[in-house]
Chains A and B, each alone.
Chain A
Amino acid sequence: MTAKQSPLQKASIIDVQTLDDLISTLAHAGYQVIGPRKQDDAIVYDTLRSAGDLPVGYADEQDGGKYRLVKARDGIYFDYVVGPQSWKRFLFPPHQKICQMRKQGKAFRIVEETAEPPCYAFFGVRACEIAAMKVQDKVFDNGTFADPGYLGKRNAAFIVAVNCGRAGGTCFCASMNTGPRAQGGFDLALTEIVEKKRHVFLIEAGSVRGSEILAKIPRRAATGEDTAAALAATDRAVKGMGRKMVEDVGPLLKRNLEHARWGEVAKRCLTCANCTMVCPTCFCSTVEDVTDLSGSNAERWRRWDSCFTMDFSYIHGGAVRRETSSRYRQWMTHKLSSWFEQFGTSGCVGCGRCITWCPVGIDITEEARAIWESEGRR
């Protein structure tokens, strides 16, 4: 709990109007500020020019297979939680050029390209999303190989966290120990304090560069009352969380690879891959090698892929995972079980996106619970 206490002791209070100063200070410092915006009736992440771009006054209603933005409390900045996108799309873009090659006589050569990686400030990163970034950090630097594109963007990125004061309908971060309060991994962290007579943000610095940015905006020291109000906000989110992952799910799934539930969930699963596309930790990709019409210029692109497609496991002779049950099992056991073997951590951060965006509302916590209960637990 010391980790929880210490940053709060150095916390400051800023007025809601100061959010705009924070965004402009980050922009002046050379960051491209990306944050939540309302687009097509969903919260997405896009460029923020000012605090006016934020979806103020909106909240989301989420459930299995359901997402609606609704007008909620006036003037509240962060009443919604996570939408269909995650920050993954900036650090590990859905479609990214790896290199370009040019034909030269019988041979070809690699065209050298040097581009500075974009310098992002991610504004409004939830605790589960910070956890997801830490998960992907282990994927893209596995000790033997590292992805310089990912690391360049990741190391440059400035993280402004927002601690959740409200749980979304499909959230289960509390049971994954990833939220709703960010425990490190941010440069600055905001907690929105909404009381009858005041509306302010508690702001904590989690790094040197965070303190440097904080020093440039108007603020005052937080009182004990302020920090108590901030902690109460995240406590409310914990209490409002309706879903929970069962305990020791990693070993549970590992010993149930041939459970009847896989066949049962396969009757509902459409293998549409939505869960893998919205998941902030799913990292599977494919490589596409293409040429222009002249055939003398080739490019290599990396594109997000999904273990739910038939092509994914194709080798000469056919796909390894033909059945829906095998593909669902691959996704869920990877996320919750074999990820520990690979990276020493869970691949699930409890953000709930896979539940919300599943067209048939398959709920990963419910699937795990079904297997758990089949072992005679309650």
Chain B
Amino acid sequence: MKEMTALKDPMVPAPFRIERVRKELSDTFTIDLVSAERRRAFSFLPGQFNMLYVFGVGEIPISISGDPADPETIVHTTRAVGSVTNAMWKLGAGQTIGVRGPFGTSWPVEKAEGLDVVIVTGGIGLAPLRPAIYQIMSNRAAYGNVCILYGARTPEDILFRKELEKWRGQFDLQVDVTVDYATGRWAGRVGVVTKLIGRGGFDPHQTVALVCGPEIMMRFAVEALAERGVPNERIYVSLERNMKCGIGFCGHCQLGGDFVCKDGPVFGFDKIAHKFAIQEL
């Protein structure tokens, strides 16, 4: 009995100190955290998420958007769309946020070695993929062609624009960006990101595809990838569902028999293709 009470409750958050909060876009910000207790290492895999708690306001799941090679700073990028994210944006350096995690499955970065990698992403979906991009770039020779296909609503909504521009300037990366609506002096591509899949840059039979964005975008991305001949078992998608615990207890994130929090959020598409086809599952 005593032993049991000594077990750590996985629902209790650990306090982390905010090092920096910075604006990315009109509705999107990045928050850097370090452990409040001591600068202890926080290791995670690309694609995993944390449950972030704002004192007295609430807790939400947010993907980690930083570099897995930096174990000291945990970086999250999120849109301010609800009460918790709005409260989070108002916090400043030195204040505390509760962290539980890291939770969930990861992008198959190591499994993709020796193959081409195509990353198809839209909007804030780039955030959970950035750790995978960092990891691939740190071991670039292990991969074939690497393509990043990114879609945003408008040029003003392009996330991590400076980094995308930097990556685009490299000879070992193909970066293609498109917007739904051209505003201002945009002279780049206009149209949905899934249209870029047909343009090539990767060998469909030797490619791993990492897909993250709105669910409707992912459906069309998967369709376009299949059309090119990428098999379902080499397509990976990251899903979003309501989560209250992150550890398979609360039941909110169920997708058929899967708990998106622990069996996902990253799924091999072959594992969930049949569920994707069913409305409101």
**A244 proximal to B (CB < 8 A):** no
Query: A148 and B12: CB pair below 8 A?
Result: no
Query: A103 and B11: CB pair below 8 A?
Result: no
Query: Do A108 and B256 contact each other (CB < 8 Å), given the known contacts A145-B248, A283-B251, A323-B280?
Result: no
Query: B15 and A152: CB pair below 8 A?
Result: no
Q: Please, which residues of chain B bring their CB within 8 A of the CB of A142?
A: 247-249, 262
Other A-B pairs beyond A106-B95, A140-B249, A289-B57, 18, CB < 8 Å: A107-B95, A139-B249, A144-B262, A145-B249, A147-B249, A148-B5, A152-B1, A152-B4, A155-B1, A284-B251, A289-B53, A290-B56, A312-B242, A313-B241, A315-B242, A320-B280, A330-B254, A342-B257
Query: Do A312 and B252 contact each other (CB < 8 Å), given the known contacts A107-B96, A155-B1, A287-B59?
Result: yes
- Would you give the shortest CB distance from A112 to chain B, in whole angstroms? 10
**B94 proximal to A (CB < 8 A):** yes
Q: Please, which residues of chain A bring their CB within 8 A of the CB of B240?
A: 315
Query: A152 and B5: CB pair below 8 A?
Result: yes
Q: Please, which residues of chain A bring their CB within 8 A of the CB of B281?
A: 257, 320, 326, 330
Query: How does the 8 Å CB contact mask read for B248-269 relative to A, with 1 for contact and 0 for none?
Result: 1111101011110010000000
In residues 98-153 of chain A, which contact B (Cβ within 8 Å)? 98-99, 101, 103, 106-110, 114-117, 119, 139-140, 142, 144-149, 151-152
Query: Do A103 and B12 contact each other (CB < 8 Å), given the known contacts A283-B249, A315-B242, A341-B257?
Result: no
The residue in chain B whose Cβ has the minimal distance to the Cβ of A299 is B56
**A321 proximal to B (CB < 8 A):** yes
Q: Please, which residues of chain A bring their CB within 8 A of the CB of B58?
A: 287, 289
The residue in chain B whose Cβ has the minimal distance to the Cβ of A302 is B11
Q: List 21 A-B contacts (CB under 8 A).
A: A99-B9, A107-B36, A110-B13, A114-B5, A117-B4, A142-B247, A142-B262, A147-B9, A148-B8, A148-B9, A155-B4, A283-B249, A283-B251, A284-B252, A285-B245, A298-B56, A307-B254, A320-B281, A326-B280, A341-B258, A342-B259
Query: Do A285 and B254 contact each other (CB < 8 Å), given the known contacts A151-B7, A291-B56?
Result: no
**B81 proximal to A (CB < 8 A):** yes
The residue in chain B whose Cβ has the minimal distance to the Cβ of A330 is B254
User: For the complex, what is the distance from the CA of A103 to the CA of B257, rounded to whole Å?
Assistant: 40
- Would you give the shortest CB distance from A263 to chain B, in whole angstroms? 12
User: For the complex, what is the distance from the CA of A342 to the CA of B11, rounded to whole Å?
Assistant: 21
- Would you give the shortest CB distance from A79 to chain B, in whole angstroms? 35
Q: Please, which residues of chain A bring their CB within 8 A of the CB of B254?
A: 307, 330, 334, 338
Query: A287 and B241: CB pair below 8 A?
Result: no
**B55 proximal to A (CB < 8 A):** yes
**B187 proximal to A (CB < 8 A):** no
**A49 proximal to B (CB < 8 A):** no
Query: Do A108 and B15 contact each other (CB < 8 Å), given the known contacts A144-B248, A295-B56, A305-B252?
Result: yes
Q: Please, which residues of chain B bring their CB within 8 A of the CB of A146?
A: 7, 10
Partner of A285, one of B82, B241, B242, B244: B244
In residues 89-141 of chain B, which contact A (Cβ within 8 Å)? 94-96, 98
Q: Please, which residues of chain A bring their CB within 8 A of the CB of B234?
A: none
User: For the complex, what is the distance from the CA of A106 to the CA of B92, rounded to whole Å?
Assistant: 9
Q: Please, which residues of chain B bring their CB within 8 A of the CB of A144?
A: 247-248, 262
User: For the complex, what is the distance from the CA of A83 to the CA of B141, rounded to whole Å?
Assistant: 66
Chain A: interface size category: 35 or more
Point out which of B79, B242, B259 has the most chain A C-beta atoms below 10 A from its C-beta.
B242
Query: B257 and A338: CB pair below 8 A?
Result: yes
User: For the complex, what is the distance from the CA of A22 to the CA of B244, rounded to whole Å?
Assistant: 42
- Would you give the shortest CB distance from B61 to chain A, in whole angstroms? 10
User: For the complex, what is the distance from the CA of A109 to the CA of B37, rounded to whole Å?
Assistant: 10
Partner of B4, one of A99, A108, A151: A151
User: For the complex, what is the distance from the CA of A295 to the CA of B251, rounded to whole Å?
Assistant: 30
The residue in chain A whose Cβ has the minimal distance to the Cβ of B57 is A289
The residue in chain A whose Cβ has the minimal distance to the Cβ of B54 is A289
B binding-site residues for A, Cβ under 8 Å:
1, 4-15, 17, 36, 53, 55-59, 79, 81-82, 94-96, 98, 240-242, 244-245, 247-252, 254, 256-259, 262, 278-281
Query: B245 and A287: CB pair below 8 A?
Result: yes
- Would you give the shortest CB distance from B100 to chain A, in whole angstroms? 10
Q: Please, which residues of chain A bring their CB within 8 A of the CB of B249?
A: 139-140, 142, 145, 147, 283, 285
Helix, strand, loop or mixed for chain A's interface? mixed
Query: A289 and B56: CB pair below 8 A?
Result: yes
Query: A106 and B252: CB pair below 8 A?
Result: no
User: For the complex, what is the distance from the CA of A312 to the CA of B5, rounded to whole Å?
Assistant: 30
Query: B252 and A286: CB pair below 8 A?
Result: yes
Sorted nearest first, the 3 A-B pairs with minimum C-beta distance are: A341-B257, A284-B251, A291-B56
Query: A313 and B242: CB pair below 8 A?
Result: yes
Partner of B279, one of A287, A298, A326, A338: A326
- Would you give the shortest CB distance from B11 to chain A, in whole angstroms? 5
Partner of A98, one of B4, B11, B258: B11
Partner of A315, one of B17, B241, B280: B241
**A300 proximal to B (CB < 8 A):** yes
Q: Please, which residues of chain B bring their CB within 8 A of the CB of A152?
A: 1, 4-5
**A199 proximal to B (CB < 8 A):** no
**A10 proximal to B (CB < 8 A):** no
Q: Please, which residues of chain A bring their CB within 8 A of the CB of B257?
A: 337-342
The residue in chain A whose Cβ has the minimal distance to the Cβ of B124 is A316
Query: A116 and B252: CB pair below 8 A?
Result: no
Query: B251 and A285: CB pair below 8 A?
Result: yes
**A322 proximal to B (CB < 8 A):** yes
In residues 233-284 of chain A, which contact B (Cβ within 8 Å)? 257-258, 283-284
- Would you give the shortest CB distance from B279 to chain A, in whole angstroms? 7
Point out which of A110, A145, A284, A313 has the most chain B C-beta atoms below 10 A from its C-beta.
A145
User: For the complex, what is the distance from the CA of A140 to the CA of B245, rounded to whole Å?
Assistant: 12
Q: Please, which residues of chain B bring their CB within 8 A of the CB of A290?
A: 56
- Would you give the shortest CB distance from B243 to chain A, in whole angstroms? 9
User: For the complex, what is the distance from the CA of A232 to the CA of B15, rounded to whole Å?
Assistant: 60
Point out which of A109, A114, A315 has the most chain B C-beta atoms below 10 A from its C-beta.
A315
User: For the complex, what is the distance from the CA of A305 to the CA of B11, rounded to whole Å?
Assistant: 16
